[in-house]
């Protein structure tokens, strides 16, 4: 069972699309019924039938025999389904965009004989025949509040306990040394008694230098809370209003679209209710390992001038990097400076955050923890036009200053703006998602947490506030595989059950005839501008993804390969003795890569 958990989460063609239906309540009801009917096939082991009844995009994404193999590997060992209900989590169900215009993503809390608490995510498209059909499926073990939703109560805990440094370090060791889910991770905690930092692991996989409170990490979307603080502070000073249309702070040559008599406001942007997509459709990275580097303000304005949505502004909550990036640009325009200068003068300097910036200082460069995809070093990200959505780098020590100020523990002239940003409201008429300005507010076990997470190519970040007990938590990791969200939630409230990491499955390599491998050699496309090159050097086999280092792969059968550097597997698929594609499993997520050379 422990081995199963390490590969349990698998995703098939789960895409971030969108819906625009006249009666959304009826839409959800029909989609839920369709999802439950489809799940009944998998519950009864009828995996070929589930493929037959899936959306065309699902069928195009994975062959029927591969779907059946994956399902037998992951779903069958779970045993019979005991219960299933629509989860009460945020943004559930969530409307999405599809090429045909309508889609819904639904999260279920499910209990199985061999896994008492699981989360299932089902995405559905409205097909041309008017029927809802499944386009993606994801299943993973759940903990904490999701456990209760599945009918299994966590251990009674009363008031959340404060974990000792040794207990926290053991959690981090478990992630890195046992589960092989990272390279280095730093935890910072602050309350009325003071701050402390606990760390484990290294600055880089092949280095002995340990991470610590001064190690610099990319914090990704946690940057959005800083952009929201800028907005709140400018509102406090009377420079902008929350209901100002964003067009007020854009050049006259740029138009921000309207829907009916509504126009996107600054509040819509920070709360992800603008109707703008997650990313602009003219986002086409030249270097996938540093995808935002060449996306300019000119590109952003060109997208806005060509975009028109029919979705009601303010009605839907749909997470948008584009929207918050646009907010950062609009606020910079209002202030007459660039985003980084605005943030440094209005927020970072007043808080004494000397090791937080977009542009690395020499001191920060010397303390930069190298990012990793799994345990493979990868490039840092440089974000220009959309900087407000995720460009910041910081340290645990600096983030504790930020959290302390937000809690009122550390005196700050920004406290009124911070308090304004923390006031939460429901942000969609179709879900229970609550947000302040930039901050998400949700229940973690018995605690109302104000928080945000972040991720770039090789980093993961989490920040959380428990205002009732004046506690703040930050978790920073230099690998995209580290489960910072679960660690952070557990530290906010120990009643959130933290699933212990399981060792990766034990594999035994076989001596494969190199001539067999030669048919696999070539280039495989995962997505536009994203490929994996398979090569052979003598009797050794290698894979190299775009923007990543070459890594050695090993075979445990004539078609199945794995790497010791990451939780990654590849199965090569043939059609009449010709290799057509490979199916990848990375951190339990499945994807198909077709052979193009």
Structural domain spans, the chain: 2-149, 165-492, 514-595
The structural architecture, per CATH, of the domain 2-149 is Roll (3.10)
Question: Where are the alpha helices (H) located in 347-442, listed in sequence order?
Answer: 349-351, 362-366, 387-390, 396-407, 415-422
Q: Rounded to the nearest 5 degrees, what angle is found at the Cα of 375, between the Cα atoms of 373 and 376?
A: 65
Cα 392 to Cα 359: distance, rounded to the nearest angstrom: 8
CATH of domain 514-595: 2.40.128.50
**Any idea what DSSP says for residue 348?**
I
Q: Which of 365, 359, 391 is nearest to 203 (CA)?
A: 365
* Burial bucket for residue 376 (CB in 10 Å: 0-12, 13-18, 19+): buried
Instruction: Output the CA torsion 417→323→378→506 (10° steps).
Output: 90
Helices (H) and strands (E) in the chain, counts: 19, 28
Cα 23 to Cα 306: distance, rounded to the nearest angstrom: 28
β-sheet bridge partners, residue 475: 187, 462
Q: pLDDT 10s per residue in the chain (597 long)?
A: 333 333 233 322 222 223 333 344 566 677 888 888 899 888 888 888 898 888 877 777 677 877 887 788 778 888 888 888 887 644 567 665 544 456 778 888 888 887 777 778 888 887 777 788 888 887 776 543 333 222 223 333 445 668 999 999 999 999 999 888 899 999 999 999 999 999 999 999 989 999 999 999 999 999 999 999 999 999 999 999 999 999 999 999 998 878 888 899 999 999 999 989 889 989 888 887 888 999 999 999 999 999 987 778 888 888 899 999 999 999 999 999 999 999 999 999 999 999 999 999 999 999 999 999 878 888 899 999 999 999 999 999 999 999 999 999 999 999 999 999 999 998 876 667 899 999 999 988 889 999 999 999 899 999 999 999 999 999 999 998 899 999 999 999 988 878 677 777 677 788 888 888 999 999 998 766 678 899 999 888 988 877 666 788 888 888 888 887 666 788 888 888 888 888 887 655 667 788 898
Cα 420 to Cα 229: distance, rounded to the nearest angstrom: 9
Cα 82 to Cα 85: distance, rounded to the nearest angstrom: 11
CATH of domain 165-492: 3.40.710.10
User: Residue 588: left if φ>0, alpha if ψ -120 to 50, beta else—which one?
Assistant: left
Residues 6/588, Cβ–Cβ less than 8 Å? yes
Residues 241/235, Cβ–Cβ less than 8 Å? yes
Provide the pLDDT for residue 570.
86
Mind spelling out the 3-state secondary structure of 564-584? CCCCEEEEEEEECCEEEEEEE
Cα 291 to Cα 283: distance, rounded to the nearest angstrom: 9
Provide the pLDDT for residue 259.
85
Supply the pTM of this predicted model.
0.70
Cα 86 to Cα 105: distance, rounded to the nearest angstrom: 11
Tell me if residue 197 falls in helix, strand or coil. Answer: strand
């Amino acid at each position: 069972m422990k081995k199963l958990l390490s590969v349990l989460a698998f995703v098939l063609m789960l895409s971030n699309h969108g819906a625009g239906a006249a009666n959304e309540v009826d839409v959800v009801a029909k989609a839920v019924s369709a999802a439950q009917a489809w799940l009944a096939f998998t519950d009864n082991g009828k995996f070929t039938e589930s493929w037959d009844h899936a959306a065309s995009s699902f069928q195009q994404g994975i062959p029927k025999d591969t779907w059946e193999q994956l399902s037998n590997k992951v779903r069958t060992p779970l045993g019979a389904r005991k219960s299933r209900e629509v989860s009460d989590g945020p943004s559930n169900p969530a409307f999405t965009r599809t090429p045909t215009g309508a889609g819904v993503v639904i999260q279920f809390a499910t209990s199985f004989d061999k896994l008492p608490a699981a989360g299932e995510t089902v995405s559905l498209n409205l097909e041309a025949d008017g029927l809802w059909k499944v386009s993606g499926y994801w299943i993973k073990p759940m903990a904490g509040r999701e456990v209760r939703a599945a009918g299994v109560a966590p251990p009674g805990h009363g008031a959340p306990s404060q974990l000792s440094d040794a207990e926290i370090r053991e959690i981090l060791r478990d992630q890195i040394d046992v589960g092989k889910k990272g390279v280095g991770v730093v935890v910072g905690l602050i309350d009325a008694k003071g701050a402390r930092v606990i760390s484990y692991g290294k600055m880089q996989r092949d280095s002995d230098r340990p991470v610590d409170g001064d190690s610099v990490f990319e914090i990704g979307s946690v940057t959005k809370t800083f952009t929201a603080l800028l907005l709140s502070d400018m509102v406090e000073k009377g420079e902008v209003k929350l209901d100002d249309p964003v067009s007020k702070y854009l050049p006259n040559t740029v138009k921000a679209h309207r829907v009916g008599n509504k126009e996107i406001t600054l509040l819509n942007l920070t709360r992800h209710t603008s109707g703008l997509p997650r990313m602009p459709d003219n986002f086409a990275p030249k270097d996938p390992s540093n995808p935002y580097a060449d996306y300019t303000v000119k590109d952003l304005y060109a997208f806005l001038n060509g975009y028109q949505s029919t979705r009601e502004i303010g009605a839907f909550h749909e997470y948008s990097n584009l929207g918050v990036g646009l907010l950062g640009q609009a606020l910079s325009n209002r202030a007459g400076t660039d985003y980084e200068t605005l943030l440094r003068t209005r927020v970072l300097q007043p808080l004494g955050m000397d090791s937080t910036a977009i542009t690395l200082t020499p001191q920060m460069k010397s303390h930069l923890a190298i990012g990793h995809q799994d345990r493979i070093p990868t490039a840092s990200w440089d974000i220009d036009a959309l900087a407000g959505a995720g460009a910041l780098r910081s340290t645990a020590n600096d983030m504790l200053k930020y959290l302390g100020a937000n809690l009122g523990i550390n005196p700050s002239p920004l406290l009124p703006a911070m308090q304004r940003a923390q006031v939460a409201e429901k942000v969609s008429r179709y879900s229970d998602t609550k947000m302040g300005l930039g901050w998400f507010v949700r229940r973690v076990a018995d605690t109302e947490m104000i928080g945000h997470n972040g991720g770039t190519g090789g980093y993961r970040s989490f920040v959380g506030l428990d205002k009732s007990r004046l506690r703040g938590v930050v978790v920073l990791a230099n690998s995209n595989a580290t489960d910072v969200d679960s660690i952070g939630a557990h530290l906010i409230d120990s009643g959130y059950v933290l699933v212990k990491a399981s060792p990766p499955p034990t594999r035994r390599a076989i001596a494969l005839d190199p001539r067999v491998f030669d048919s696999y050699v070539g280039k495989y496309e995962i997505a536009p501008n994203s490929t994996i090159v398979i090569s052979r050097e003598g009797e050794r086999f290698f894979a190299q993804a775009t923007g990543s280092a070459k890594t050695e792969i090993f075979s445990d059968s004539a078609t199945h390969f794995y790497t010791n550097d990451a939780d990654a597997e590849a199965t090569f698929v043939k059609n009449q003795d010709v290799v057509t594609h490979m199916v990848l499993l990375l951190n339990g997520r499945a994807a198909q890569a077709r052979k193009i050379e």
